[in-house]
């Protein structure tokens, strides 16, 4: 039985650059480090985990194109989060778009070829007890 999202793992060829970029994104150093091989951060309301695996250790190294999966992280302001990620060196993947009442998404391609999504999600807010309406 699937119980929920745990660790999301992205691949990177340049672990030092990936560490610096995601440290800026999360405004925190990784809590778990295996030098040159793996980094992991815990972030957000439920301390979700993002791991970065050195691509040379991956079972199937990436072909250089972004992956097909998009992992969305909850944010309060999609436009601001999207602009911040672009300012940190990501490139546009999908501009902020309202997907329905209470749901706005956007995504970027990080400097390492992974797609990183941000989402305002009313259901997420209802679950954590915030219940804020979309501004």
**Global confidence as pTM:** 0.76
Q: What is the CATH number of the domain that holds 109?
A: 3.10.180.10
Is residue 125 included in any domain, yes or no? Answer: yes
Q: Are residues 21 and 52 in the same domain?
A: yes
Q: Are residues 72 and 53 in the same domain?
A: no
For residues 55 and 124, give the distance between their C-alpha atoms in angstroms, rounded to a whole number: 32
Is residue 63 included in any domain, yes or no? Answer: no
Q: Are residues 43 and 88 in the same domain?
A: no
Q: Are residues 21 and 46 in the same domain?
A: yes
Q: Are residues 49 and 83 in the same domain?
A: no
pLDDT digits (tens, 9 = 90+) for 38-63: 999 999 888 889 999 998 887 665 56
Q: Domain boundary at 58, 83, 103, which?
A: 58
For residues 30 and 50, give the distance between their C-alpha atoms in angstroms, rounded to a whole number: 9
Domain count, the chain: 2
For residues 5 and 72, give the distance between their C-alpha atoms in angstroms, rounded to a whole number: 11
pLDDT digits (tens, 9 = 90+) for 79-135: 999 999 999 999 999 999 998 888 899 999 999 989 899 999 888 888 877 655 444
Boundaries of domain holding 103:
68-135
């Amino acid at each position: 039985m699937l119980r929920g999202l745990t660790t999301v793992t992205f691949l990177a060829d340049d672990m030092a650059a990936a560490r610096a970029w995601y440290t800026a994104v999360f405004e925190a150093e990784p809590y778990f480090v295996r030098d040159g091989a793996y980094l992991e951060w815990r972030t957000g309301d439920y301390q979700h985990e993002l791991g970065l695996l050195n691509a040379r250790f991956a079972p199937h190294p990436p072909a250089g194109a972004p992956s097909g999966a998009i992992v969305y992280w909850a944010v309060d302001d999609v436009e601001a989060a999207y602009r911040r990620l672009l300012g940190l060196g990501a490139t546009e993947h999908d501009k902020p778009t309202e997907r329905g009442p209470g749901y706005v998404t956007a995504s970027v391609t990080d400097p390492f070829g992974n797609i990183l999504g941000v989402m305002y999600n009313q259901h997420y807010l209802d679950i954590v007890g915030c219940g804020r309406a979309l501004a």
